[in-house]
Structure 1
Amino acid sequence: MKCPNCQSSDIGRIGEQQYYCWNCFIEMSFVDGRMHVREIEEDGSLSSLDDLFLDENG
């Protein structure tokens, strides 16, 4: 698996179907066969980056 942001393969598993890139610090999860990408903010909240990495049709 490679990070959709930085293409690093330094990916760790943090939960069932949840992964974390140790290079650029984004979280990826898979729900119903779709990948969701989130950035972890300074306060610990998550901000969706789906609109940047996923095409609009699918």
Structure 2
Amino acid sequence: MMNCPNCQSKDIGKIGTNQYYCWNCCIEFTASGNKVSSVFQVEEDGTLHSLNDLFFDDCPPPFETNM
């Protein structure tokens, strides 16, 4: 079971190939296996705003989530 990289909730839904949505904190993220590569905030109009600068330093390797 994957945990949210932001709030650690297990209330995660799959919305596409390697794309997930956290119903607890309303973020979308891209993961392959247990490696998260992108994190986005979903805006009211449905657009995505990158939160990678908050989750990653410069160009780090993807971090792991608890599965």
Please say if 1:18 is aligned against 2:24: no
User: TM-score normalized by structure 1?
Assistant: 0.84
Identity %, equivalent residues: 58
Deviation of the 1:42 alpha carbon: 0.8
- Which aligned segments of 4 or more residues in structure 1 are displaced greater than 6 angstroms? none
Equivalent residue, structure 2, for 1:37 = 39
C-alpha RMSD of matched pairs (Å): 1.8
Deviations 1:4-55 (A, max 9, x none): 1111011110000100001000000137x65100000011110000011123
The unaligned stretches of length 5 or more in structure 1 are none
The number of equivalent residue pairs is 57
Counterparts of 1:35 and 1:46, CA distance in 2: 15
Q: Could you tell me which amino acid in structure 2 is paired with residue 9 of structure 1? A: K
Structure 2 residues not aligned, in runs of 5+: 61-67
Q: TM-score, normalised by structure 2?
A: 0.74
Higher RCO structure (Cα 8 Å, ≥6 apart): 2
Cα distance in structure 2, aligned partners of 1:4 and 1:40: 15
